[in-house]
Structure 1
């Protein structure tokens, strides 16, 4: 038996014994009670373990569902020139990339040292899932650990409460939650290598009117390497 489990069982036994009148407690030696408790645990645990695991799975599924309903995640990357990122998240190079200033106060709005929301943190990549119970997982283990298969993303995350969104667009599946960010937090905008001219003209007009100090670059696919080059406009 695990020493921690044995310790917890003895503490629980002591708590329950204190509820029993002294004259009743004296009818059986404490050591014998502990031995019977341990024996019962060893006999019943295989059955109980299956029930606890089933309860744990149900709790985890409920937690994930509620998290999707209540918590949003802003996902950013360190790598503006990663070909896979442009393919997966920018409509196969037809979209654009916003470069943020990570030192802007927008990315650190913590209300306390224990706050898990509204500040930017680096994602940790691991081979194995966190194995602690849900109640013992830290904020990092809950929100910032991903399989090392995703290491190429070099992701940073900032969690937010979805009810704080400035605008909600209803869709057929999950609603789109939009949050405002300060213009000063934007450093650059990179236009995708395959961006259509109509979208490019529209985006450039917005940048000229509202983000005149932001650096604008055009992504160009290298002709002799598997890479992107950026040219400032």
Structure 2
């Protein structure tokens, strides 16, 4: 247990020094929040009631889909994996520590947005804060699980960047945080349900925490656990 906690603390320190995690979990999302928050609330004042949820969806999606996978490639796509095997360290340990460290970073970034939005843009705080934070935690976990799949399966950094963008951009554009869903064509309204951002956004809205918005995220999470287990088992055999 002490070794596990030490691994998490060590990964936390590495992530703090990582330019990729710093940019994708803090700098870019917070700049986007500061810049677009003023625009959204000026053009559409009614967005003050959903601004916090919208900006958090963007922040979490970027950190999970673009920030986490490169860190996984550095471990599971390099000789670091051999060091794990040579020292009898379970292969899943690296994934778990990176996952938990990224979770903490994304939660901190989300709390910053939650605290600043009412002050800077007169955004409305969530009515049910306990349910909001529970929904946020679930959305972060599911998003990071998808990022984990990307980091474990794509071995080339250039390909990873392209695939991560193909996941990230539709997640943001089709989730309803940029413009009303009613403006989308019918086929895009259907496609948007593939991406967890749409479900996470609805789950975090006031009175949105119920099974109708939760079941898909749970299904994705358990499916990802199975896939990650299979991938790590194959890597252990190699």
Give the TM-score band, short-chain normalised.
under 0.3
Greater share of helix: 2
Which of the pair has the greater relative contact order for Cα pairs under 8 Å at 6+ separation? 2
Give the structure-1-normalised TM-score.
0.24
Greater share of strand: 1
- Larger Cα-atom Rg: 1
